[in-house]
Chain A
Amino acid sequence: MSPKASALGTSLPHESGHLHVSGEARYVDDLPPPRGMLVAQALTSNVAHGFIRRLDVRRARVLPGVHAVLTAEDIPGHNDISPFARDEELLASSEVHCIGQSIALVVAESLELCRAGLARIEIDIEPLPAILSIEAARAAGSFLSNEHVIERGHLETAFAGAKLRLEGTVETGGQDHFYLETHASLVTPLEDRSFLVQSSTQHPSEVQAKVAEVLGLSSSAVVVECPRMGGGFGGKETQAANFAALAALGAHHTRRPVKVWLNRDQDMICTGKRHPFWSRFRAGFEADGRITALEVETYSDGGFSADLSKPVLDRALFHLDNAYFIPNLRFSGRVVRTHQPSNTAFRGFGGPQGMFVVEHVLNLAAERLGLDSAEIRERNFYGPAPRNLTPYGQEVTENRLARIHSELLESAEYRARQASIAAHNQSHRWKKRGLAFQPVKFGISFTNAMLNQAGALVNIFIDGSVQVNHGGTEMGQGLHTKMRVIAAHELGLPLSRIRLMTTATDKIPNTSATAASSGADLNGQAVRQACVTLRERLKEVACGLLEIPETERAGVIFEDGQVRHPASKMTVDFSALTVRAHRDQVSLSATGYYRTPNIHYDEAQGRGHPFHYFAYGGAVIEVEVNGFTGEHRLRRVDVLHDVGDSLVPSVDRGQIEGGFIQGLGWLTSEELVVAESGELRTHSPDTYKIPALGEAPPDFFVHLLERAPQPDVVHGSKAVGEPPFMLAIGVITALRQAILAYGSGAAELSLEIPATPEAVLRAIESRREPR
């Protein structure tokens, strides 16, 4: 049997799997220390808001083993690390805006000496009033953005005519990224005032720009490499620049390599998280559960600086509709400024927070109207025109919601299980179950059109082996695995001939962050294009080598490491072809470039086309709740997800399962407890509980929607990184149903997020004894 012509669409191990399991995979902190390497630690603010009255580092500077103690005055360039708003200092110059903000940097021969140096710094911070909640920020008029409004239809008329009117508020909390690898950067000074930055970052180009800016250099003097990340999830999109710039500042002053690595507590205290949101809503429904009107006024906690808070808020607004057509609506949102670390990108990027609001509203309506979770959602799905227009005017195309709904409910035996759960709940006093259906529609593209571009550089060597460079970073999501398959497919080579190279800004310049689920879409097209360019060049060489007329060139095919012309039964090894190409003075190196067409959005009008397409998915979730303690468990989860024609199904499945469990953590166990001082109380896994192995459902069935190619995306595939996270919202719907089974109280069920055992018990108790 001949080997399969292409690995495209087959399940493959992670590209670095063999390195992961043997401990050979290197992360920034694992790199061999360059000669003379120093380490650095920052003095950080211990007050949420304050004025630096005095900062004296002289005693620290004279400590043997300490090579430099640096403050804002020592920054040769601009004291700024913000992605665009110019509102975030690398080292606070006079005012501190959150606990954990860097004020000074000690560079020394060991972490212990750094700590000794830090202890010798004399600092006097005058505390100023701190704003620590959305509520307080709104009251104080503390905002980071203007109001963004999207509206259509006739809201008040629709409310007046609604059979069911609901109003209320809803809150979702923050979430720490808890990538297993904390932030790390190693900066080595090179010749002629240039620097090599090795950083655990999703955005090497931004790290490059910020390091250059802080040091007062041009970007060409800085090379940023990202070997791989031990997880990112959005937390290393903008926030890595901070620690790379600190290391660079140290390297600049000491002329020695400097590493900045955060321990877990530092990482959790100093860095931004998922945005907490607070929303007020009014909704109107028909008696059959169709939503006719929805007004949502939402506020996110941006922390102390803009960071990416505005685009996060925008995406929340773009996902307040989730999968549902809402004829009359007004969505408005604004980012508040508080004295917390600046909140940032996190898988879903506001999407989960927006979607949670409409799902909450649907839950309330279904509970009032006696509809089941699948029924009310299906009735509200986007459909054919005119029910295909999003609030911002983009058409919902390739709509797979109805298909997912029907296929999933059948495969998950939804109706039969619903009946058996009802019977179970009748006969069990202290254990109740709930079953929920959760659909997701998620817009794919950076909503900032400029970011939707990517580059690649593919080098073929004379021996026929290939190096693939692209602008994306590998954080575990399997991007390199997918890029390798695309290159192998286009060049007709076995995977073993394709090597993925460290992401580096001197290979691929001016890249966008690997974010917005877009890594494979954008970089895949660029890699593909570079490979196609090379293949076409090689075809011409092949014609010469195989003595085929130039007109027959289209008949030359590349597969299994060979180049064939079936018509003339001629075959040559790929490596023979590359030897010939080099001899013929044909370049074996090519770049590829891709930009997503037709992305635009007019915020003033609240109208546009911010997404290239939509990804869809659905989940059926069963939970059990213990009425004694509020503890709860997932019993079974069925997912049907639309990834188009999967490039690598094993990778996509991994993203779906991992995303779901991360969403589960956000909604049920991960709790950022902040003291009145603004201090984060849960800053390590001792107190901040992400799901452990036992939280994974015993039955976890994940299927990819079949026969679902996506037009205009590389090989018909679709983005998968973020959408599955939001499937976990259905856990809350299922929990509500189980809780409702405990009592017959007429009062509306109130369940706090995260739905910890304590929150669930409170909800059960409030149902039992109406208060």
Chain B
Amino acid sequence: MGYTAAMKELSFILNGHEVKERNVAPTTTLLQYLRQHLQLTGTKEGCAEGDCGACTVAVLDPHGEDGPTYRAINACLVLLPMMQGQTIVTVEGLKTGDQLHPVQQKLIEAFGSQCGYCTPGVVMSLFEACYRKDLDAEWKVDDQLCGNLCRCTGYRPIRESARSLAGRCPNDRFLEDLRQAESSERSVHYESEGELYLAPESFDALFDHLDTHPDVRLVAGGTDLSLEITKRFVRPKKLLSLEAIEALSEHRVEGDTWVVGAGVTLSRLERPAPKYAPALARMLRFFAARQIKNRATIGGNLCTASPIGDLAPVLLMLDAEFVLRSRAGERIVPSAEFFLSYRKTALRKKEIMSAVRIPILTAHAEHRLSAYKVSKRQELDISAVSAGLRVELEHGKVKRARFAFGGLAATPARASRLEAAVTGQPWTEASLEKALPALEQDYKPIDDHRGSAWYRMTIAKRLVLGFLLETESEPSPEHAYRPTGTVDPEASR
């Protein structure tokens, strides 16, 4: 076997105390573990699907872009073995003696709790904010809190608290823990109650496990898989995590390509993305919530192949390539050939996605690109339509078009007929209006609770038109702080 130390127990630091656990099923969520096994009931369950944030706790990430940092995560969407080697802080761990932590004190003073049920989660999101060094814009502070639903306050006091706490970084024991942070043993070989959880540190070990356990389920951040456990009460017998393979969570620039390890979390993408792929950065602003982005990975989002996955349209538009790895080695698949049918991808058995190769494109007047997402609610919602749109122009005419959409078909897909219809035509409002009906040949969207077929198709067309208008003066537009809509055709005025 490829792993070295067969671990019989999990160990992690919880609120300053080392915990060793060997008797809990690996499909136990951290939330269930805290509430039912440890009787730490401060952390609440409001939805068990990462949409309300009442279960938010913080973990210490030694590898933040600015050095070690705390990261708020949904305790309902992580399994206990994923906490191996981690340092966890729950709401019960914030007080020092009788002394409240500044985030707790501030929230009381701002009248930021009413029923109090969302409050522990809000506190832990504020806790992350308090030690973050990059919350330099109001929208980032709002984004930090958008994964915490509150039904009582109307949010004003919570937003005010967040703005006053962001980056405050008190010189306290939590800061000291950040200073002392070091990488820890993340590999796992844990078995309990007839369930197996493996997290090898090397590709070799990974492929060994895949040979030994052909029925194993692969898991990355776990934010999707956990839903099967919490919502459908499925208990996978064998899980194989990619989390401990360091190579998967690195990103680097190779010439004119940004190579992003499939295991890079979405929140870690946020910092470099504006430089290498601004359209991706724009999409990340409307992607899930902070807690989810702190766990979910780029590879996970792509490999679930959800028709409404938000990264895929952007990567399709950018002509990204996916690196797929098996014991035999690596092969590179163009993004346009990866999504085969509903939730089916080009991944073969015993093969994983190891990296995403993103061409670094320079936007200019003749090369415009952007990404969009329309949903019922702008924050933390699944898209009705998402889009990655790009045109290369020559003498005012379209030389090449890349229009990719999510939410319109069984897979994220390019609109090849519309692309063809605009190619060679002038890039003007009038000309585009003529070409847009081609989109109806590309997709037959469905009616559901997120939007009707009419809405989806109308929005898809509108986004292309809006893209045209929005990029007239700004070839790769940034969003205003609080856009009224996902596309702002008047941004340049």
Genuine A/B complex = yes
Contact at B114–A689, with CB atoms within 8 Å?
no
B142 touching A694 by the CB < 8 A rule? yes
Whether B154 contacts A660 by the Cβ 8 Å rule is yes
330-360 of chain A: CB within 8 A of chain B = none
B116 partner, pick from A20, A264, A629, A651, beta carbons under 8 A: A20
Over the window 133-152 of chain B, the binary record of Cβ atoms lying under 8 Å from chain A Cβ atoms (1 yes, 0 no) is: 00000000010011011111
In the complex, A179 Cα to B90 Cα: how many Å? 22
Closest 7 CB pairs of A and B: A23-B42, A626-B485, A476-B115, A230-B117, A20-B116, A657-B154, A661-B154
Q: Are A658 and B152 in contact (CB under 8 A)?
A: yes
Chain A residue with minimal CB distance to B233?
Answer: A115
B49–A13 touching, CB < 8 Å: no
* A22:B92 contact, CB within 8 angstroms: yes
A21 and B119 within 8 A (CB): yes
Q: Are A758 and B451 in contact, CB atoms less than 8 angstroms apart?
A: yes
Q: Is residue A642 contacting chain B, with contact meaning CB distance below 8 A?
A: no
How far, in angstroms, from A245 to B69 measured CA to CA in the complex?
Answer: 48
B395 contacts the other chain (CB 8 A): no
Given the complex of chains A and B, what is the CA–CA distance between A264 and B76 in angstroms? 13
Contact A29 B41 (CB under 8 A): yes
Q: Are B116 and A230 in contact (CB under 8 A)?
A: yes
Q: Assess whether B485 is in contact with A758, with CB atoms less than 8 Å apart.
A: no
Instruction: Say whether B145 contacts A693, CB under 8 Å.
Output: yes
- Given the known interface contacts A431-B490, A628-B465, A698-B482, the answer about A265 and B231 at a Cβ–Cβ threshold of 8 Å is yes
| B440 on the A face (CB < 8 A) | no
For residue B222, CB closer than 8 A to chain A, the reply is no
Whether A405 is near chain B, meaning CB under 8 Å from some CB there, is no
Are A669 and B377 within 8 A (Cβ)? yes
CB-CB under 8 A for A180 and B52, given A22-B92, A658-B153, A673-B449:
yes
Complex Cα distance A650/B449, Å? 38
When distances are taken between beta carbons in the complex, the residues of chain A under 8 Å from B382 are 686-687
B378 to chain A, nearest CB (A): 6
A-to-B contact residues, CB < 8 Å: 11, 13-14, 16-27, 29-30, 32, 112, 115, 177-182, 228-233, 263-265, 428-431, 475-478, 624-626, 628-633, 650-651, 653-654, 657-662, 669, 671, 673, 681-682, 684-687, 689-696, 698, 700, 756-758, 761-762, 765
Instruction: Tell me whether B156 and A696 are in contact (CB under 8 A).
Output: yes
Question: Is A14 a contact partner of B116 (Cβ separation < 8 A)?
Answer: yes
Assuming the A-B contacts A19-B116, A626-B485, are A685 and B149 also in contact, with contact meaning beta carbons closer than 8 angstroms in the complex?
Answer: yes
The answer to whether A21 and B462 have CB atoms under 8 Å apart is: no
User: Residues 31-59 of chain B: 1 if any A CB is under 8 Å from the residue's CB, otherwise 0?
Assistant: 00000000111111111110110100000
For residue B85, CB closer than 8 A to chain A, the reply is no
* Size class of the B contact interface (CB-based, 8 Å): 35 or more
Of listed A115, A661, A758, residue having the most chain B CB within 10 A? A758
Beta-carbon contact of A629 and B49 below 8 Å: no
Contacts of B118 in A (CB 8 A): 180, 230
Chain B 452-493 residues near chain A, CB threshold 8 A? 452, 455, 458-459, 462-463, 465-466, 469, 482-490, 493
- Measured CB to CB, the closest approach of chain B to A341, in angstroms, equals 18
With an 8 A cutoff between CB atoms, is B111 at the interface?
A: yes
Assembly CA distance A177 to B152 (angstroms): 11
Q: Are A685 and B49 in contact (CB under 8 A)?
A: yes
A634 to B448, CA, bound (A): 26
Give the segment of B60-68, B102-110, B322-330 that binds chain A. Answer: B102-110
Please state if B458 and A430 are interface contacts (CB–CB under 8 Å).
Answer: no
In the complex, which residues of chain B have a beta carbon less than 8 angstroms from the beta carbon of A631? 374, 378, 484-486
29 contacts between A and B (CB under 8 A): A18-B100, A19-B116, A21-B123, A24-B42, A25-B116, A115-B233, A180-B52, A180-B54, A230-B117, A264-B52, A430-B466, A626-B488, A628-B489, A629-B374, A629-B462, A629-B463, A631-B486, A651-B111, A654-B157, A658-B114, A658-B151, A660-B154, A684-B49, A686-B47, A694-B142, A694-B379, A696-B154, A757-B374, A762-B455
Is the Cβ of A263 less than 8 Å from the Cβ of B48? yes
Most buried by A among B46, B151, B384, B489: B151
Answer yes or no: B417 CB below 8 A from chain A CBs.
Answer: no
- Complex CA distance for A696 and B448, rounded to whole angstroms: 27
CB distance from B74 to the nearest CB of A (A): 12
B111→A11 contact, CB < 8 A: yes
The answer to whether A180 touches B115 (Cβ under 8 A) is: yes
